[in-house]
Amino acid sequence: MEFHGFSKYSSQGKKVILSAAPQCPYPDASLGPALNTGLFDNVWVQFYNNPPCQYASGDASNLLSAWSTWTSSVTAGSFYLGLPASPDAAGSGYIPPSDLTSAVLPGVKGASNYGGIMLWSRYYDVQNNYSGQVKDSV
């Protein structure tokens, strides 16, 4: 298989999209070496269950700092902000929709490789209607 930029093709000639979902502490302990290859199309960084780099009690500074590190240190097509879709979806890191749209998204959308958000999980998104509350701002 040859790699040309972000267009990768399988031996059957079908396009392959390479993605990863690392934890937000940089570099990710498990995926760091792989991500350093520069071959990833999409990186879905999990900004939850990691207090040093997540949103907490109205303070987005740790998350925004970690986002900046990820988007400037790893070569990838697009980066996605991974968030829990409700307070029950993860142990920590939930961002109320109004805080996401007013305090977090303005800081992350400026990255040229911003791709959007990723929510954990669809079950909790349906319960909380998180995506419905933020989709016009993402």
Tell me the backbone φ, ψ of residue 34, rounded to 5 degrees. -65, -45
Q: Which CATH superfamily is domain 17-134 in?
A: Glycosidases (3.20.20.80)
CA-based nearest residue to 80, from 51, 52, 50, 40: 40
- Quick one: pLDDT at residue 1? 34
Give the DSSP letter of residue 62.
Answer: H
Q: How far apart are the first and last CA of the chain?
A: 35
Tell me the domain boundaries of the chain: 17-134
Tell me: the pLDDT tens digits for 81-125? 999 999 999 999 999 999 999 999 999 999 999 999 999 999 999
